[in-house]
């Protein structure tokens, strides 16, 4: 059964390879979804997969890429988007 969450990440998360960082971890673990910039400077992340795998990626999102400074992440449960792979938008 798939577990899906959507989150909004705040802080210094644009222009610091944050989305590619999330993509690399998600793909390595086998989690589907996306990471895309928001107009207000945040990043929206969608993660779908096995619950333990999704939680592992959520922890990486909270840590952030080496150049990022994550101030907060707000998660909510969502329906499976049917995404194939992990997309950076």
Residues that are catalytic: 19, 37
CA-to-CA distance for 62 and 21, rounded, in angstroms? 12
- In the numeric block, the tokens 């969450």 are attached to 5
**Residues 6 or more apart whose Cβ sits within 8 Å of residue 67:** 12, 16, 17, 18
Q: What is the token pair recorded at 64?
A: 């952030």
CA-to-CA distance for 4 and 79, rounded, in angstroms? 6
């Amino acid at each position: 059964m798939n577990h899906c969450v959507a989150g909004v990440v705040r802080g210094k998360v644009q222009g610091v390879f944050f989305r590619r960082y999330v993509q690399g971890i998600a793909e390595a673990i086998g989690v589907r979804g996306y990471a895309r910039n928001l107009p207000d400077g945040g990043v929206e992340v969608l993660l779908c997969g096995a619950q333990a795998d999704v939680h592992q990626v959520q922890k990486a999102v909270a840590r952030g890429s080496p150049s990022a400074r994550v101030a907060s992440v707000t998660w909510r449960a969502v329906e499976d988007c049917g995404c194939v792979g992990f997309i950076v938008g």
